[in-house]
Amino acid sequence: VTKLRDAKELMDKRGAIFSDRPPLNIVVKKVWPNMLPLKPAGEGFRLLRRVYIDLLGPKTSLAVKKYQEYESRMMLRDLYKTPEAFRAHTERFSTSVIFSAVYGVRISRLDYPIMHELFDIMKTTANFVLPGRVLVDYVPILERLTLDILKGIIDVGSETTSSMMQSILKVLAMNPEAQKKAQEELDQVVGHSRLPTWEDIPKLPYIRALIKELHRFAPLLYIGVPHASTEDITYKGFTVPKTTILLPNAWALSRDHERYQDPDTFAPERFLGDDIDSYTSAKLGDYLKRDHISYGWGRRLCQGIHLAENSLYMQVSRVLWAFDVATIPGEPPLNIHEKDDGFIKKPKPFRVSITPRSDEAVQVLLQSAEEAVTDLPDADSVEMAF
Ligand code: HEM
């Protein structure tokens, strides 16, 4: 599907019919075993979806905000100390946020054996009641969930946001003008003596528009996630038989001329005045009003949308407040199409420079990291407790 009008008609308006997934092949099963994104429609899907909605809905994602706030301070400090390792820093941020939410432990470094033995440690931690496990506090059923479900949330939750953040750093480096405008807004609203906070969101329309445009310009899942139908239908005079597979081509849909002017231009301005969050926007009846389709469609809309949007806001606003992200002179031009193979296509390794905007910014970011407090133990200390 390459036209927004058709995507809306089929996957949103006929969402009851087009919310199945194609049969899994063995490769996909191995890469992403027993996970909601790939689960076929039916009783099992509805149950799992309910569980995910509880786990990742607005209420729980509110509780995760304090961990996103904390981890973003750590990320700024790490970016200052070793900017060339930005890939690892974005991965650590996302992994730690999702571990904080699911297991109540934070991940302070990626070379910790926990990352190499992810599966084993999850097995162990799943057997322990750890203090401060946010999701369990809200969703007692979590304690009875199977390891597969939990592993699924960790995988989806960390890979997606970190890949998106890496692609964001690349797009920002390629668009210094947009970056400058965002920084002017941050300087005006936030000032120089503190980091942006959750409370600033309503006062940062350019940052909000920038995040929407980043989703539109470089959607995380280029080719989308396939939907499949469970009934025969007639659409535009054609019979569409049941089990038809729809591939929402996110790249093409994000460049649909009917919706976006000059779609190949990176222009956050196109979203100024659109004050609706991406979740509400996805539910709008008019496909010409929805912001972008990066989070998918209908009943299969990304369940992590609230958590992901919060993570992106914390990272984008704070990184731009503290640093200039730029291309490195003499290097070949950056290319947004250079991505790894695999289901979630991470940007292939690339280099950008990340330099502090001022001495004052360095002082504030280091102090913010120093003063940060969390109620969660580090994975190191938890292992010792075992
Ligand atoms: C920038 C970050 C993210 C993007 C762009 C994204 C995008 C997507 C897309 C395109 C889909 C498929 C939708 C469809 O089939 O129409 C999806 C599904 C899903 N996502 Fe995300 N996602 C992100 C982050 C997350 C996070 C952080 C989590 C969890 C913590 C998450 C959990 C899920 C789940 C559970 C599904 C399956 C929904 C279903 O099949 O019913 N996502 N996501």
ipTM: 0.99
Please, which pLDDT band fits residue 42 given cuts at 50, 70 and 90? confident
Residue 127 has pLDDT above 70, yes or no: no
Residue 124 has pLDDT above 60, yes or no: no
pTM score of the predicted model: 0.90
Evaluate whether 254 touches 208 at the Cβ level (below 8 Å).
no
Q: Which residues line ligand 1 (CB under 6 A)?
A: 36-37, 49, 52, 56, 98, 153, 156-157, 160-161, 164, 220-221, 224-225, 227, 294-297, 300-304, 307-308
CA of 356 to the centre of ligand 1 (A): 32
Q: Whose CA is nearest to atom 2 of ligand 1?
A: 161
Closest by Cα among 140, 122, 126, 6 to 60: 140
Site to probe by mutation for ligand 1, drawn from 302, 307, 315 as the one with most ligand atoms within 8 Å of Cβ, is: 302
Q: Whose CA is nearest to atom 40 of ligand 1?
A: 37
Site to probe by mutation for ligand 1, drawn from 1, 12, 160 as the one with most ligand atoms within 8 Å of Cβ, is: 160
Q: Which pLDDT value is given to residue 150?
A: 67
CA of 144 to the centre of ligand 1 (A): 23
What's the length of the chain? 386
Q: Whose CA is nearest to atom 22 of ligand 1?
A: 302
212-248 tens-digit pLDDT: 999 999 999 887 888 999 999 999 999 999 999 999 9
**49 CA: nearest ligand 1 atom:** 41
Please, which pLDDT band fits residue 118 given cuts at 50, 70 and 90? low
Annotated binding-site residue? 302:
yes
Residue 382 has pLDDT above 70, yes or no: no
Buried b / exposed e over 274-303, threshold 16 CB at 10 Å, is: bebebeebbeeeebeebbbbbbbbbbbbbb
Q: Which pLDDT value is given to residue 129?
A: 30
326 has which bridge partners? 353
**296 CA: nearest ligand 1 atom:** 16
Evaluate whether 200 touches 190 at the Cβ level (below 8 Å).
yes
The count of other CB atoms within 10 Å of the CB of residue 194 is 12
CA of 161 to the centre of ligand 1 (A): 10
Evaluate whether 364 touches 192 at the Cβ level (below 8 Å).
yes
CA of 204 to the centre of ligand 1 (A): 25
355-373 tens-digit pLDDT: 999 999 999 999 999 999 9
Of 8-12, 106-110, 200-204, 274-278, the range with the lowest mean pLDDT is 106-110
User: Which token pair is 124?
Assistant: 């162990």
CA of 98 to the centre of ligand 1 (A): 14
**307 CA: nearest ligand 1 atom:** 27
**220 CA: nearest ligand 1 atom:** 5
**215 CA: nearest ligand 1 atom:** 5
The count of other CB atoms within 10 Å of the CB of residue 197 is 12
Q: Whose CA is nearest to atom 3 of ligand 1?
A: 160
134-191 tens-digit pLDDT: 554 545 555 555 558 666 777 778 889 999 999 999 999 999 999 999 999 999 999 9
Once rounded to an integer, what is the mean pLDDT over residues 32-54? Answer: 68
Q: Whose CA is nearest to atom 32 of ligand 1?
A: 304
Q: Which pLDDT value is given to residue 383?
A: 53
* C-alpha–C-alpha distance, residues 219 and 343, integer Å: 13
* C-alpha–C-alpha distance, residues 21 and 36, integer Å: 10
Query: Which residues are CB-contacts of 268 (< 8 A; sequence separation ≥ 6)?
Result: 178, 181, 182, 206, 209, 210, 212, 213
CA of 332 to the centre of ligand 1 (A): 32
**294 CA: nearest ligand 1 atom:** 5
**55 CA: nearest ligand 1 atom:** 30
* C-alpha–C-alpha distance, residues 203 and 185, integer Å: 9
